[in-house]
Amino acid sequence: MSRGFSERSEGAPPLSPEEIEEAVKIAMEAGAVAIYLFGSAARGKFVRGLSDIDLLVVTESPPPYRAKTKHIDAGDVNIIYMSIQEVCIAYMRGNSLVREALEEGKLVWGREVKCR
């Protein structure tokens, strides 16, 4: 089994800025004020064929939907939508996904979200 992993990831190019931009364009349709890339793609550990692209989209008001998955050539794009208020409440309550996105993720579009 590990042999298959090596064959799939060996020599595969990392996620390009153009691929991140393509994922961000998909996520912007909900009226985003900030978009964070998090998970393996943000840590530079993206593996083609195995990893997905995780985005947290922060909106001013409650978003029209909570989550969606789209596919681009680089892989699946998992998008989570939350309002600024929801993000800050989740952050203050210790939500691991929101904390990872805000603390370790990369702001790829918009303004930084600060929860105090």
pLDDT at 25: 82
pLDDT at 24: 83
How many domains, in total, are found in the chain?
A: 1
Any domain includes 2:
no
pTM given for the model: 0.83
Any domain includes 1:
no
In this prediction, residues 78-88 reach a mean pLDDT of: 96
pLDDT at 22: 85
d(CA 26, CA 77): 9
Q: Is the pLDDT of residue 36 over 90?
A: yes
Domain around 103: 17-110
pLDDT at 1: 33
Any domain includes 116:
no
- We report the CATH number of the domain holding residue 79 as 3.30.460.10
Any domain includes 69:
yes
pLDDT at 12: 60
Q: Which residue has the higher pLDDT, 99 or 47?
A: 99
Place of tokens 């961000």: 24
Mean pLDDT of the chain: 86
- Please provide the distance, in angstroms rounded to a whole number, between the alpha carbons at the two ends of the chain: 46
